[in-house]
Chain A
Amino acid sequence: MGGQSGPTMDSGDFIDESDYKSSAQAVKSSKTIQGGSSSLSGSESGKMMVGNGGPDSYEVVFVKDNVSVHPTQNASERISGRLRLIKQGASLFMTWIPYTVKGGGRQGSSIMKSAEKDRNLYTIRAVSLAEMRSIRRHTPPFGLQYIIIVLTSGLAFPPLYFHTGGVREFLSTLRNHALLVRSNDDSNVYLVNDVQDPLQRSLTSLELTEVTPVAVVVEPPPIVTKKDETVQPVEESPASTSMQTSVYRQGPRREASREIINVLEKFSMVTKFARDTTAHLFGESRLLGNSEMDFDRGPMRLRNEGSVSKSTGELPPVDGAQEPVKDGKEAAAKDEGKDTKKAQDEESEKQKRIANEEASTNVGSFELVDGTKNDTPALVWGRARPPPLGHEEWVTFLDREGRVVDSKALKKRVFHGGVEPNLRPELWKFLLGHYKFDSTYAERNALVSSKREEYKVLQAQWKTVSEDQAKRFAKFRERKHRVEKDVIRTDRTIPFYEGDDNRNVELLRDILVTYSFYNFDLGYCQGMSDLLSPILYVMEDESEAFWCFAALMERMAPNFHRDQNGMQAQLSALSKLVQLLDTPLHDYFKQNECLNYFFCFRWILICFKREFDYNDVLRLWEVLWSHYLSEHFHLYMCVAILKRHRRKIMDEQMEFDTLLKFINELSGHIELESTLRDTEALCLFAGEKGAACIPPGTPPSLPVVEVDPFAVSLESSQNL
Chain B
Amino acid sequence: MCRLRDHAQGFRRRPFPDLSFFISSFRSFCQVLLGDMGAGKSSLALRFVKGQFFDYQESTIGAAFLTQTLAVNETTVKFEIWDTAGQERYHSLAPMYYRGAAAAIIVYDITNADSFGRAKKWVQELQRQGNPNLVMALAGNKADLASKKKIEAEEGQAYAEENGLFFMETSAKTAQNVNELFYEIARKLPKAQPAQAAGMTLTDRSASRLTPAKTTCCT
Contact = CB atoms under 8 A, between A and B. Distances in A.
Q: Do A and B bind each other?
A: yes
B210 interface: yes
A13 B42 contact: yes
Interface stretch (B61-69, B119-127, B161-169, B179-187): B61-69
B37 A664 contact: no
A489 B148 contact: no
B149 interface: no
A527 B46 CA distance: 20
Interface residues of B, number: 64
A691 to B, nearest CB: 18
A17 B49 CA distance: 14
A229 interface: no
B101 to A, nearest CB: 11
A42 to B, nearest CB: 36
B96 A485 contact: no
B86 A605 contact: no
Contacts of B56: 7-8, 488-489, 492-493
Interface in B153-205: 172-173, 204-205
Contacts of B84: 11
A12 interface: yes
A13 B112 contact: no
Given A9-B43, A563-B92, A598-B96, A661 B54 contact: no
B99 to A, nearest CB: 12
A610 B58 contact: yes
Given A593-B205, A595-B207, A610 B92 contact: no
Contacts of A485: 37-38
A449 interface: no
B65 A526 contact: no
Interface string A410-429: 00000000000000000000
Given A526-B85, A593-B205, A655-B3, A12 B65 contact: no
B61 A657 contact: no
A525 interface: yes
Query: From DSSP, what is the main secondary structure of chain B's interface residues?
Result: loop
B61 A606 contact: yes
A617 to B, nearest CB: 14
A628 B128 CA distance: 49
Contact of A10 (B57, B65, B96): B57
Interface string B40-79: 1111011000101111111111111111000000000000
Given A482-B37, A564-B93, A651-B15, A12 B60 contact: yes
Interface string A1-40: 0001011111111111100000000000000000000000
B89 A11 contact: no
Interface residues of A, number: 57
B131 interface: no
Contact of B173 (A9, A14, A17, A606): A9
Contacts of A652: 15
Contacts of B50: 14
Nearest to B88: A562
A656 B141 CA distance: 29
A510 interface: no
A1 B64 CA distance: 31
Given A605-B62, A660-B65, A661-B65, A11 B43 contact: yes
Interface string A280-322: 0000000000000000000000000000000000000000000
A7 B89 CA distance: 24
Contacts of B33: 11
A526 B66 CA distance: 21
Interface string B98-113: 0000000000000110
| In the complex, the 9 A-B pairs of residues with the closest C-beta atoms, listed nearest first | A601-B62, A12-B58, A11-B42, A10-B38, A12-B57, A485-B38, A652-B15, A14-B46, A492-B56
Interface of A: 4, 6-17, 478, 481-482, 485-486, 488-490, 492-493, 525-527, 529-530, 560, 562-564, 567-568, 571-572, 575, 593, 595-598, 601-602, 605-606, 610, 651-653, 655-658, 660-661, 664
18 contacts: A7-B56, A9-B54, A9-B141, A10-B57, A11-B33, A11-B37, A11-B40, A11-B41, A12-B60, A13-B58, A14-B46, A14-B64, A490-B58, A527-B61, A568-B211, A653-B15, A657-B82, A664-B64
